[in-house]
């Protein structure tokens, strides 16, 4: 089989094989259950046997294996849009400095493509005051990194979460 070489936006060096971008997906093939969302994606590698990306993942049941992502069509990718969740302004003089709601204005939390969680700092700190994350694990790491600051983890629907060991537990809706 002839090797493919890069001639697109990834590199202009013709000596480097072009594998294409890592797929954007959160579903992977599990030997027993079809496709499901894994607990953790450890890393990606190119399968020279099947000429596509594979990933080392750990599923919710503890099974760790190299597997393939669920194919995503171009139309599915184009359908993904940025989601915004608005935290309503609170009445001036109410609440505390630990609230994520501002007494000056509504706060718009803009979730990037594929992001489902945001770590939102108290409005007291000012500025943008939040980061968005695609996975539960990334949100947990960001929460721990901001452990010295008042913050809340929310999802795209505004549900709040707390970290319990290495999991997020929904605390309010």
Say whether both 29 and 112 belong to one domain. Answer: no
Q: Take residue 136 and report the two structure tokens written for it.
A: 């539960």
Say whether both 2 and 61 belong to one domain. Answer: yes
Reported as a single tens digit per residue, the pLDDT across 27-78 is 888 876 678 888 888 888 877 777 778 888 998 888 898 888 887 655 555 5
Concatenating the DSSP letter of every residue in 58-123 gives: E-TTS-EEEE-BPP--HHHHHT---EEEEEPPPPTT-S-TT-SS-SSS-EEEEE-TT--EEEEE-G
Least confident of 9-13, 91-95, 111-115, 148-152: 9-13
Q: Is 58 buried (19+), middle (13-18) or exposed (0-12) by CB count in 10 A?
A: middle
Please give the residue range of the domain that contains residue 14. 1-78
Decide which of 48, 78, 108 is a domain's last residue: 78
Say whether both 45 and 125 belong to one domain. Answer: no
Say whether both 162 and 147 belong to one domain. Answer: yes
pLDDT band, residue 125 (cuts 50/70/90): confident
């Amino acid at each position: 089989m002839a090797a493919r070489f890069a001639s697109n936006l990834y590199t202009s060096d013709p000596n480097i094989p072009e594998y294409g971008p890592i797929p954007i997906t959160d579903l992977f093939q599990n030997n027993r259950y079809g496709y499901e969302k894994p607990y953790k994606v450890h890393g990606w590698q190119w399968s020279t046997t099947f000429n596509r990306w594979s990933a080392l993942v750990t599923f919710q049941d503890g099974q760790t294996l190299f597997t393939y992502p669920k194919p995503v069509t171009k139309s599915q990718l184009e359908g993904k849009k940025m989601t915004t969740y608005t935290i309503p302004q609170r009445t001036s003089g109410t609440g505390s400095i630990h609230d994520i709601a501002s007494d000056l204005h509504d706060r718009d939390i803009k979730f990037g493509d594929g992001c489902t969680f945001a770590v939102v700092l108290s409005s007291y700190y000012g500025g943008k005051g939040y980061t968005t994350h695609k996975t539960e694990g990334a949100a947990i790491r960001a929460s721990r990194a901001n452990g010295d600051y008042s913050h809340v983890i929310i999802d795209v629907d505004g549900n709040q979460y707390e970290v319990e060991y290495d999991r997020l537990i929904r605390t309010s809706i």
